[in-house]
A = this chain, B = another copy of it.
């Protein structure tokens, strides 16, 4: 297991009290009124975990979605021992899978790309809040819409752009992916084999 300088495994790293947590959530979910924020924080907790940890496993029901404070994750589908990455996410992004949110067995696996700090949110509890709290309902709605627009953009790119264009697009828009994700995973994300990506890169 590789360790990263900014987070030595030996250190007994901070936990986070509800007050700190509230501060962080306030800055990310600025649409929430103070009262809604308090309710939200009740069902949130801080979490640190090591590279390779699966936040969500394919085929199983889970109860959380997450906000990445520090670190990164990949999401992928598996079939016949072949993995295809669907998305990557890093600092300040809220993540989860739609099937998990719907209470269904997840179709994707979500795994830490590196040792990470996260905040996790209990889906059932947050959903309960959305039944009575309009601002929380809207917040969730916004997160889902943002996610949907990303997926749609990905579909568009897969249909209309060559793998070379897609590779260039990654370099320009999210170069951090190249530093944090293996080329094997990037290839699957782009929809080509490892070898083809390698040939694209050697130009």
Interface residues on A, range: 20 to 34
Is residue A200 contacting chain B, with contact meaning CB distance below 8 A?
no
Is residue A194 contacting chain B, with contact meaning CB distance below 8 A?
no
Docked Cα-Cα span, A137 to B134, in Å, equals 8
Q: Of A42-50, A64-72, A145-153, which binds chain B?
A: A145-153
Whether B152 and A98, one on each chain, are in contact in the complex, defined by CB atoms closer than 8 angstroms, is yes
Is residue A2 contacting chain B, with contact meaning CB distance below 8 A?
no
How many copies are assembled?
2
Which of B77, B154, B159, B191 is in CB contact (< 8 Å) with A84?
A: B159
Whether B152 and A152, one on each chain, are in contact in the complex, defined by CB atoms closer than 8 angstroms, is no
Docked Cα-Cα span, A159 to B83, in Å, equals 10
Q: A137-B138, A145-B144, A147-B148 are in contact. Are A159 and B102 (CB under 8 A)?
A: no
Whether A160 and B98, one on each chain, are in contact in the complex, defined by CB atoms closer than 8 angstroms, is no
